[in-house]
Structure 1
Amino acid sequence: MKRFLNQIWIVIGAFVAAIVVSWVIYMPNGDERGVWRAQTGGTIITLTPFTAKMYSETSVSCLHQLSFPAHLKLVEMAEGATVSVIDSQLHLNVDGSLDPMILERIDALPDNCSAANPDATPRDVFDSMWTAMDEHYAFFDLHGVDWDARRALAPAMGDTMTDSALLALLSDTLQGLDDGHVQIGAPIGYVSPAQDPDWLVDTLNRDALTQIARDTLGTDLTPVDLTGIEYVLLPDGVGYVLIRHMGLDTPFGTTSETAMALAFSQVADVMTDANSMIIDLRYNPGGSDSVSFGVASHFIDAPLDVFTKTTRDGSENGSGQSAPFTAVLQPFDATPLTQPVIVLTSQLTGSAAEILIMTMRELAQVITMGQPTSGGLSDILGFKLANGWDLGLSHQTYRAMDGQSFEGVGIPPDIPFAITAAPLLAGEDPLLRAAFVRARSAN
């Protein structure tokens, strides 16, 4: 027994020693350590040999968002996040976002940076929300909202409110911004000013709508492990690919784009024999832009510029934007899928699913069919509110290569097709049937 215990302690000691050695190797180097502020504002990061911390900053607050060990290799393998210093700027690449966050070194963490206070006054919470939106939200004009006027809804200094009443007040303040990326998360609930399509009655949730599509298809679909993808190649040569979300259970040590590209190989291998394809994104709420790129990589054989994006920079007049970042889609291999593709869309198609559509629209063999998408393309910039609640907002403008922006209005389909509740409630899917008619005519 004593010998066995000694062996256990030897193993534990070796493991601890390995962690210590690897930490020394992979801790932030001298150039990376320090305090960094995002060029476009809103975020501060501190890096020491042992810890990394992130703060959300506005002109009235600086609140701690998260902390994690500064073992950069472990962070890269677990979360797909990397840092590097280029021309004296810190570049933070986060898996799921296509462009890096660029940060400038500052002398020290601002004195007002602190943890959120659960007992913060309603006025402090309102001010932290209003200011974050005022300095970073990019689409007030698009939605016709006079944000300055919403300042009048602020509670008076010294007012007290229940959490429910405060959340309702913040929700009322955001009304008119039909944007699913504007959201507040609190222990008592979640609110967003986004509006559902008028045809989306209570019983027609995304799961029910997806099942109607499956039933209309009338045959079993093969799921792709770790993804929201299901597919089938029908005997008449039409391939059907249902993508329920742009998420992925990314294996440890890989990035989501690479993992999705590999996962979609299962679909691509089967669809090589298809005469035409239907990709159904109608009820896809989004997820990761990188996952979208993993799918799209199977349809090209050379790098392709697919869109640009800029970030609002937090300036007082709201006119400042970062330099455009051009997103370049890389091919998975030299044997892409080249068949005619019909992509189905609806007002429930959002976020990273819209990024997939914007990307696929650059391909000659692709047409879209259905409704305009939801119009929520921006990444989400997160903030802590004074009491610790979470705020998300849209701060980036995506533009197609021809300069068009679809934020707030949605990506229009090449072939419009109205979606109404009545046939769906009867278990019918007219759009899917029409898509198959068109796909078979392309054979």
Structure 2
Amino acid sequence: MRLLRQIWITLAVLVGAVAASWVVYKPDATQRGTWQSDTGAYLLHLTAFTATLYSETRQTCLQQIRFPAHLKLVEWAEGATITAEGDRLDLSVDGAFEPLTFTRINALPAACGPADPETATPRAVFDTMWDAMDAHYAFFDLYGVDWDARRDLAPAPDATMTDAALLDLLMTALDGLDDGHIRIGTPFGVRSPRVWPDWARASPVFDRGALTQIARRTVGADLTLVEQTAIEYTLLANGVGYVLIPVMDINTPFGAQSGPAMALAFEEVATAMADARALILDIRYNPGGSDTIAFGIASHFTDTALPVFTKTSRLGDGQSTPFTAALAPFDDTALDMDVVILTSELTGSAAEIFALAMRELPQVTVMGTPTSGAMSDILDIKLPNGWDLGLSNQTYRAMDGSVFEGVGIPPDVMVPVDVDALLAGEDATLRAAFDRLR
């Protein structure tokens, strides 16, 4: 009974502390109200007690997420901050380089509300998906898809369909857009029109986990796992270091930002590799994660700040003002030995951003095959039945102006995937990297 009483007293104190601090950290008068994103995809409605983000299309305004408007707790837990001045509001989110920018509007449209799977018709779901892609997707021309013609696939207004049939219809409409950042999220899984490369379909055992295990066996040495991350590393007797980066993710401590947290975590690797004569960074099977985490790792390879790429977002028929991403050094003791980065068509998203930044450094050579070519941040849109649509609305450009969306970042040294070797449990690409560094 005494323990139970102590627990209730502790909970009461915590609730009281949060309630008291809410007065300080609730949205102030400059922040409260309704805001529309410059991309036209989102509405943000702030009151003294709640923050609600809506995704908006020509036909719908659907609740994406709602959370208590205790701005300090949101910052600590999710790394999100809100600043407002006049009719402009910036929403900065952990993992993104630049903030989402909003402009104040008079009021929240009356149609805005939560998705309702019980009343959503297949036609409403299709139309919302088509409208969102039509307004925001950046690469129809790249893939040669006539999106206007796909409107003819819309079901009749009174049509009824099973969830499976509706999902198949949406995927038929998206066919030909070989983009891993287009995805439909449902309660029974995620579908994408992305087509895996031929070599990865050569065997049912060629998933990311199995391929990564082949790489581990080929290294032939025990790998050390970096705490709170999936990164593994070893320094071989010949002075060559191997670092496996399976995903751009970290178990971020409460109240910390993921990018700086990864930079601190990777210091363990940098210290272990300080005397290495060469280094292999393996991101071939890395599907991505957070761009700022990628920069946290890359910050150990430069001792000066330098711009590494630009990015723009689609705004109607044009593009937003370019944002330049600069790589800042972790400290003044950069790893400046020869570095080989291994890539493949399964290198995606934030892992590609890592390669895009690192290829600007003089000590880096990229080996393997081109990356997947899906670099845009994902714009998320809620569909009327509660499903989620993700799409690419941003264009990344290397500092020389090159765009690698759809075609992938090309390696400096092309090493085709040896399927026969992989089937035999041997990683020929990794062997080629070791041979090069010998």
* TM-score normalised by length of structure 2: 0.97
Cα deviation digits, residues 114-138 of structure 1 (max 9, x gap):
2112031110110010000110010
8 A Cα contact 2:116 2:385, kept in partner: yes
| Equivalence for 1:404 | 402
Question: What are the residue-to-residue correspondences of 1:290-305 with 2, within 5 Å?
Answer: 290-305=292-307
- Between the aligned partners of 1:6 and 1:436, the Cα distance in structure 2 is 63
Runs of 4+ in structure 1 off by over 3 angstroms are 4-14
- Aligned with 1:23: secondary structure? helix
Partner residue, 2:141: 141
Are residues 1:266 and 2:268 paired? yes
Q: Which AA in structure 1 matches 2:279?
A: M
Question: Relative to 1, partners in 2 of residues 1:12 and 1:197: Cα closer, same or farther, differing over 3 Å?
Answer: closer
Given that 1:164 and 1:188 are in contact with CA atoms closer than 8 Å, whether structure 2 keeps it comes out as no
1:338-397 deviations in whole A, cap 9, x for unaligned? 111000000000000000000001100001001000000000000111111110000100
Matches of 1:8 and 1:227 in 2, distance apart? 33
- What secondary structure does 2:391 align onto? strand
Alignment deviations for residues 97-155 of structure 1 (CA, whole Å, 9 cap, x no partner): 11110000010011221211203111011001000011001000001100000000000
1:45 aligned partner, one-letter code: L
- Relative to structure 1, the CA distance from residue 6 to residue 264 in structure 2 (aligned partners, 3 Å threshold; closer, same or farther) is closer
Within the alignment, does 1:36 sit opposite 2:35 as a pair?
A: yes
1:18-417 alignment runs, 5 A limit:
18-86=17-85, 88-119=87-118, 120-200=120-200, 201-313=203-315, 315=316, 319-417=317-415
Q: 1:20 deviation in Å?
A: 1.5
Residues in 2 aligned to 1:326 and 1:6: alpha-carbon distance in whole angstroms: 55
Closer, same or farther in 2 for the Cα pair 1:383/1:7, shift >3 Å? closer
1:430 to 428, 431, 434: 428
- The CA deviation at 1:159 is 0.8
Residues 418, 428 of structure 2: 8 Å contact kept:
no
For 2:235, the aligned partner's letter is L
2 CA distance for matches of 1:309 and 1:150?
28
Q: Is the 8 A contact 1:275 1:339 kept in 2?
A: yes
Contact 1:224 1:266 in 2 (8 A): yes
Conserved? CA contact 1:55–1:62, under 8 Å = yes
For residues 226 and 12 of structure 2, the distance between their equivalents in structure 1, rounded to whole angstroms, comes to 41
Question: What is the rounded CA distance, in whole Å, between the counterparts of 1:59 and 1:425 in structure 2?
Answer: 50
1:7–1:366 CA distance, 2 compared to 1 (3 A): closer
Superposition deviation, residue 15 in structure 1: 2.8
Deviation at 1:421, TM superposition (A): 1.7
Distance 1:13 1:221 in 2: 47
| Alpha-carbon separation, structure 2, partners of 1:215 and 1:110 | 58
Aligned-residue Cα RMSD (Å) equals: 1.5
Alpha-carbon distance between aligned partners in 2 of 1:188 and 1:387, rounded to the nearest angstrom: 13
Segments of structure 1 that go 5 or more residues without pairing to the other structure are: none
The amino acid of 2:180's aligned partner reads G
In the TM superposition, residue 87 of structure 1 has moved relative to its aligned partner by 5.5
Quote the offset at 1:11 in angstroms.
4.6
Residue identity matched to 1:180: G
Aligned CA distance change for structure 1 residues 8 and 152 (closer, same or farther; 3 Å): closer
The letter for the 2-side match of 1:136 is H
Please tell me whether the aligned partners of residues 239 and 277 of structure 1 are also in contact (alpha carbons under 8 angstroms).
yes
Q: Percent identity?
A: 60
CA distance in structure 2 between the partners assigned to 1:351 and 1:162 by the alignment: 32
Q: Which moved more, 1:325-334 or 1:407-416?
A: 325-334
Contact 1:376 1:408 in 2 (8 A): yes
- 3-state SS in 1 of match to 2:20: helix
Distance in 1, matches of 2:230 and 2:376, equals 21
- TM-score, normalising length from structure 1? 0.96
The SS at the match of 2:31 is: coil
Deviation at 1:10, TM superposition (A): 5.6
